[in-house]
Structure 1
Amino acid sequence: MTEFRRKYGAPLWHLSLLLGCFAVTGWIALRLAGEPTAWRMLLWFIGAVIAHDLFLFPLYALVDRALRAKLGGAGGRSALNHVRVPALASGLLLLVYLPGILGLGGDTYTAATGLTPQPLLARWLVVSAAIFAGSAVLYALRRRRLRAGVDIGGPAD
């Protein structure tokens, strides 16, 4: 087993998990092979990969680096995570609701839900603000607990 790990570079469970992922991906590809709109899904996927790798990743890596430089230290890492997690959640929600926010597929949305897509932007902004506010409150509570633990000489979690 040690010889396998040395040659492969990772434990056996890693290879097993990777092969399972390839099996699921292959099954999905076979299911989509007969689909008449499969090329549109493939085009969307390739576009999303290109947009992420060429534009979004460098952008949020730059923002993350700037925040790390500004916050610095161990306490800064904790604060940075309280920005990263809500930003990720807000970004994922934007990705899911962006077509509706941009007004694309409004007729389909209205036919499926009986509602109009106009309030989606305002709702996304409110939910994003609530996520960031919740994270800020959690960070403040953790800082307060840490300071209280340090002030009384007890261990800080």
Structure 2
Amino acid sequence: MSASASGPAAAFARRYGASPLHLLLILASFALALYAGVRLLKGDTIGVAIWFVGAALLHDLVLLPLYSVTDRAAQLLLHGRPDTSGGAPRPGVNHLRVPSFISGVLFLVYWPLILQKGGHYTAYTDLSADGFLARWLLITAGLFLASAILWTVRTWLRLRPERKAAKARAHAQARARKATK
């Protein structure tokens, strides 16, 4: 047994389940979250609490079931049967998940401007708020297009050895037929 495997850090890792650096980073993140919470609640405490509870309820009661059903439908659409193995997610579905997630985050960040509800944007920035919907739609279309191209290339590369083997079998059968004639 080496000296490093039996030192105090190894004993801490066995007892805690991770390295001391992990504990330090977790404590630092909690401290940062606590600081942000204290700063946030210095203003309208009731309004922030209502917004936080409303956001949690909206996510848990509306959005989570919605994107769970959508994900399950995408899996059925791409493969025709549900994944009963409980294994890793199907790679084809990920080519829908990633652009959907990025597009959703962009919508979440810019929804007032996309839906033209950001009245103060022009006053604060002296920039026009027009065109956010068109740009978001173009970015979303570009993300799905890039994902479709990547999926096509990956599928083509994965199936290439199978096509080569099928061609070799066809040539061997053709040669066998010519040899028997």
Which TM-score applies when normalising by structure 2? 0.68
Check if 1:102 corresponds to 2:115: yes
Check if 1:124 corresponds to 2:161: no
**Paired residues of 1:71 and 1:80 also in contact (CA < 8 A):** yes
- Per-residue deviation at 1:15? 4.5
Q: Which of 143, 157, 163 is the equivalent residue of 1:145?
A: 157
Query: What is the aligned partner in structure 1 of residue 124 from structure 2?
Result: 112
- Per-residue deviation at 1:122? 1.5
| Residues 143 and 3 of structure 1: CA distance in aligned 2, closer, same or farther (over 3 Å) | closer
Query: What is the aligned partner in structure 1 of residue 75 from structure 2?
Result: 68
- Paired residue secondary structure (2:116): coil
- Per-residue deviation at 1:40? 3.5
Give the counterpart letter for 2:27 in structure 1.
L
Q: Distance in 1 between matches of 2:18 and 2:162?
A: 41
Give the counterpart letter for 2:15 in structure 1.
F
| Residues 63 and 33 of structure 1: CA distance in aligned 2, closer, same or farther (over 3 Å) | closer
Give unpaired runs (5+ residues) of structure 2: 1-10, 166-181
Q: Distance in 1 between matches of 2:23 and 2:113?
A: 40
Q: Which of 59, 68, 76 is the equivalent residue of 1:52?
A: 59
User: How big is each residue's C-alpha offset from its partner over 1:30-49, in whole Å with a ceiling of 9 and x where there is no partner?
Assistant: 22343x34543443333222
Query: What is the aligned partner in structure 2 of residue 78 from structure 1?
Result: 91
**Paired residues of 2:99 and 2:147 also in contact (CA < 8 A):** yes
Query: What is the aligned partner in structure 1 of residue 147 from structure 2?
Result: 135
Query: What is the aligned partner in structure 2 of residue 31 from structure 1?
Result: 39
Give the counterpart letter for 1:127 in structure 2.
I
Query: What is the aligned partner in structure 2 of residue 4 from structure 1?
Result: 15
Which TM-score applies when normalising by structure 1? 0.77
Larger Rg: 2
Query: What is the aligned partner in structure 1 of residue 29 from structure 2?
Result: 21
Q: What fraction of aligned residue pairs are identical, expressed as a percent?
A: 38
Give unpaired runs (5+ residues) of structure 1: none
Aligned residue pair count: 146
Q: CA RMSD in A?
A: 2.6
